[in-house]
């Protein structure tokens, strides 16, 4: 049951990340610069982990072409995700964004069907329908105060994250987890940097948020590392549903800590429906 404890740890880390990302990003004038600062700190943490675990002593990289193809695709989409994540959390409530983020699970499971030969069942189709239904509940029209642009940004970030997540199990089997972790923090920086950004803009984010960026990076870094460990021990169809418990945790905590009480009943119900949908994808 070690995979379960690891997955629950990931869920808690990602819920903390969702909440704290909202707190930080709403005050950021340059979400992309914030994301670069965030990834730089996470890369340093990955190097520290590599040294502490002693993984550098047996450092080896895969020679299979497939390994590097999967890695490059995952790195590209993680780069897209990182590019838009803080813009999305700036424009959307943490509770809303966490529910939209479940689209990533549908994408990851779709990839699993083709890449890992997992069986498509009626319960999985129903689970996907529930997740999409929960999304429609929180974005419903007329009286909704949700930014349409924020919704589009959130969907792009979630789809990119889903594609990358779908490839993580491959990466975890081809690479040493500590090495894969480090590479996937460093490589997306290329996508984040293009088409260029002033160094001063990144420094300004460090000056404005300092320790908050470190705490954000810690939650994401530990969560991602634990998820890689969990993927090694169990199938993605077991791990991902448990990780997505972060959705309902975020919705509940957001209500009390961030005062996200508009459409309260609808948000809680949508969060529960999304989590049920994720579990049906098993």
- The per-residue pLDDT for range 33-67, each reduced to its tens digit, is 999 999 999 999 989 888 888 877 777 788 889 88
DSSP state at residue 29:
S
- The per-residue pLDDT for range 121-131, each reduced to its tens digit, is 788 788 778 87
- Cα distances (angstroms) measured from residue 19 to each of 77, 122, 146, 215, 239: 23, 34, 17, 12, 22
Residue 32: the pLDDT is: 93
Regions of the chain with pLDDT less than 50: 141-143
Residue 138: the pLDDT is: 66
Residue 17: the pLDDT is: 92
DSSP code string of 124-190: HHHHHHHHHHHHHHHT-STT----HHHHHHHHHHHHHHHHHHHHHHHHHHHS-HHHHHHHHHHTHHH
Vertex 232 angle, CA 181 and 75, to 5°: 35
Residue 142: the pLDDT is: 45
Q: Which two tokens stand for residue 151?
A: 């919704």
Domain definitions of the chain by residue range: 2-280
Residue 145: the pLDDT is: 61
């Amino acid at each position: 049951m070690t995979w379960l404890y690891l997955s629950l740890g990931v869920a808690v880390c990602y819920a903390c990340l969702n909440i704290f990302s909202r707190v930080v990003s709403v005050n950021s004038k340059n979400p992309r610069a914030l994301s670069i600062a965030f990834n730089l700190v996470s890369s340093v943490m990955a190097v520290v982990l590599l040294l502490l675990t002693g993984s550098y002593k047996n450092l080896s990289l895969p020679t299979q072409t497939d390994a590097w193809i999967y890695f490059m695709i995952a790195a590209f989409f993680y780069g897209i995700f990182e590019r838009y994540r803080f813009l999305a959390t700036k424009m959307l409530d943490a509770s809303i964004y966490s529910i939209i983020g479940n689209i990533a699970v549908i994408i990851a499971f779709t990839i699993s069907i083709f890449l890992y030969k997992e069986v498509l069942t009626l319960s999985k189709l129903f689970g996907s329908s529930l997740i999409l239904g929960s999304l429609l509940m929180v974005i419903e029209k007329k009286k909704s105060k949700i930014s349409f642009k924020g919704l589009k940004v959130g969907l792009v970030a979630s789809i990119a994250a889903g594609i990358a997540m779908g490839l993580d199990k491959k990466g975890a089997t081809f690479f040493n987890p500590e090495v894969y972790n480090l590479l996937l923090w460093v490589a997306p920086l290329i996508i984040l940097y293009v088409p260029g950004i002033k160094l001063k803009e990144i420094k300004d984010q460090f000056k404005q948020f300092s320790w908050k960026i470190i705490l954000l990076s810690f939650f994401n870094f530990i969560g991602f590392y634990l998820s890689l460990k969990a993927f090694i021990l169990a199938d993605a169809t077991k791990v991902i549903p448990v990780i997505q418990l972060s959705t309902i945790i975020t919705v509940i905590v957001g209500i009390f800590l961030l005062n996200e009480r508009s459409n309260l009943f609808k948000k809680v119900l949508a969060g529960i429906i999304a989590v049920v949908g994720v579990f049906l994808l098993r």
